[in-house]
Structure 1
Amino acid sequence: MKVWFITGASKGLGLALAKQLLSQGYKVAATSRRLSDLQKALGEQSDSFLPLEADIKHEAQAEAAIARTVEHFGKLDVIVNNAGYGLVGGLEELTDAEARENFNVNVFGSLNVIRKALPYLRAQRSGYIFNISSIGGLSGEFPGFGVYCATKFAVNGLTEALAAEVKEFGIRVTVVEPGYFRTNFPESDSVRLPATEIAEYKAVRDVQRLHTDSINGNQPNDPDKAAVALIQVAEGAEAPLHLVLGGDAYKMAIEKLQSLEQNFRQWESVSASTAY
């Protein structure tokens, strides 16, 4: 059976995926910043499960986790860069440190894992990399989510380049863009707020309250079904470059495409006016 390596697997989509894989007989290495969280959620180390404490912001820890996985299971087949967190705050409100930390986890953490996994995947001329982004990586028109969306736009961009770079090695790559799934994402341990809020930003506060008070617990999508979908895609003959998950995300993605087309066509004459 294939060996899956999942970051941020102690909760949310990562946890749902790990449980689904183990129930189907796959071998799973899973990371979290706290080993006890993984053991509580998924159990102790076994022939099929390897819990790993790692902060993927640190390249050495990402490297050690990948190496330990290969040592334990003898190979590595599927990487799921799932670790990340939300950040809600106006661009003026968020400090440099708050914004950079979101990039450190959501973008550079995934890059650390990718860099350390690729030597193994290249050597075996096979493998699959899933980078978990968000519908916010396609559409950024959400007040208060500017930095978070920027991290996910970055994940989308690097995934497109990665897919082109590693195709010749037989490695497949997909960026996953979920909508709202019924996980703990809107809760305090998965979404951070600015240390200092500016009262004038009413639109930002409205969106913030919408997520914490109304959306949380009422998300339309099932994380267990998302896990099934990812396994199905990984086992399929074709690999989508973009995988939108959830009817809500699909609707937003189509609306974004239509908006872009309308925008481009409206300003086509100005766009073409720069030619010699």
Structure 2
Amino acid sequence: METRKVWFVTGASKGLGLTLVKKLLTQNYRVAATSRSVQSLIKELGKSSEDFLPLEMNLTDNENVKAAIGECINHFGQIDVVVNNAGYALIGTLEELSEQEVKSNFEVNVFGSLHVIRNVAPLFRNQKSGHIFNISSIGGYIGGFPGFGIYCSTKFAVAGFTEALADEMKAFNVHTTLLYPGYFRTNFLSQGSVQTASNPITAYKTAREMENAHLRELNGNQPNDPEKAADVLIALSQEENPPIHFFMGKDAYHYAKQKIALIQSTMAEHETLATSTDISNN
């Protein structure tokens, strides 16, 4: 029965994840929600019940992720929809950010989702059904934001492996959807959610301007509604043939169309030179 599907949502104690879980529960779905702190989930959503399972999960630990998925299966008997939502923004130029700052961002934003996929894939393959939502960002399609290069690169990575995953899982009747959200009015850019370079370099004026624009001007004034985003995810989960690529928000469409137009014009301008490499061209 459609309304009794089980959703497994990461990063569910705040932001889009929390909004989605609340909406799912009001619509009679069953939900396993994960966070680094189970108490934060209980505070926002309540204790474990027939319909809800709060799970403390360390996304960067594959065995811990495997155990959490096992708990979900033991509690509900199944998983039908996975939302890889957990992640955080890291602001800093490539020169500024330390090796550890970069690694930590990739550990959560990239490897965390891979841990979930790796451990839920056997279940989905065996039951010949399932839907995986991987949350990228419009920054996973356009990287031209000074100071956001590393964050964007993590989201580009999510986009890359999701495209492959979609083809890998197709034979098992498992749907895969890559979401590129624009700016949604959550606490994503708030203190405690976003991280900035420990050792900023004052010479990077453009990056500092972009950073300040996000943290001081855009934060709290994002144009998109997370409640409507949750509705969109639920609607996509109900489609018979959901899309692999899904840009979400007018701003996401604006940026994507800009890049597509730029690539198309650049390819047309340089086509003769670019295609001159064919070995048969003498």
Q: Same fold (TM over 0.5)?
A: yes
State the match for 2:39 in structure 1: 36
Counterpart amino acid of residue 111 in structure 1:
L
Q: Please identify, of 36-45 and 121-130, the stretch whose mean Cα deviation from structure 2 is larger.
A: 36-45
How far apart, in 2, do the equivalents of 1:43 and 1:177 lie?
30
How far apart, in 1, do the equivalents of 2:141 and 2:189 lie?
19
Structure 1 residue runs of 4+, over 6 Å off?
none
How far apart, in 1, do the equivalents of 2:152 and 2:258 lie?
17
How far 1:17 moved relative to its partner?
0.5
How far apart, in 1, do the equivalents of 2:272 and 2:199 lie?
44
Aligned ranges for residues 5-154 of structure 1 at < 5 Å?
5-154=8-157
- SS of 1:169's partner is coil
Q: What do the CA deviations read for 1:94-134 (whole angstroms, capped 9, x no partner)? A: 01110111010000000000000011111100000000000
Q: What do the CA deviations read for 1:2-36 (whole angstroms, capped 9, x no partner)? A: 00000000001100100000000000000000111
State the match for 2:175 in structure 1: 172
- SS of 2:214's partner is helix
How far apart, in 1, do the equivalents of 2:269 and 2:141 lie?
21
- SS of 1:175's partner is strand
State the match for 2:210 in structure 1: 207
How far apart, in 2, do the equivalents of 1:270 and 1:45 lie?
62
Counterpart amino acid of residue 188 in structure 1:
Q
Work out whether 1:198 is the aligned partner of 2:201: yes
Aligned length: 276
Runs of 5+ unmatched residues, structure 1: none
1:273 to 251, 256, 276: 276
How far 1:55 moved relative to its partner?
1.0
TM-score by length of 2: 0.97
- SS of 2:224's partner is coil
How far 1:157 moved relative to its partner?
0.4
How far apart, in 1, do the equivalents of 2:101 and 2:23 lie?
34
Work out whether 1:185 is the aligned partner of 2:188: yes
State the match for 1:254 in structure 2: 257
Runs of 5+ unmatched residues, structure 2: none
Percent identity, aligned pairs only? Answer: 52
Counterpart amino acid of residue 60 in structure 2:
K
How far apart, in 1, do the equivalents of 2:160 and 2:192 lie?
27
How far 1:53 moved relative to its partner?
0.2
How far 1:190 moved relative to its partner?
1.5
How far 1:273 moved relative to its partner?
1.5
How far apart, in 2, do the equivalents of 1:82 and 1:38 lie?
15
- SS of 1:144's partner is coil
TM-score by length of 1: 0.99
How far 1:188 moved relative to its partner?
1.8
How far 1:136 moved relative to its partner?
0.4
How far apart, in 1, do the equivalents of 2:125 and 2:203 lie?
52
How far apart, in 1, do the equivalents of 2:241 and 2:223 lie?
27
How far apart, in 2, do the equivalents of 1:54 and 1:203 lie?
37
How far apart, in 2, do the equivalents of 1:13 and 1:19 lie?
10
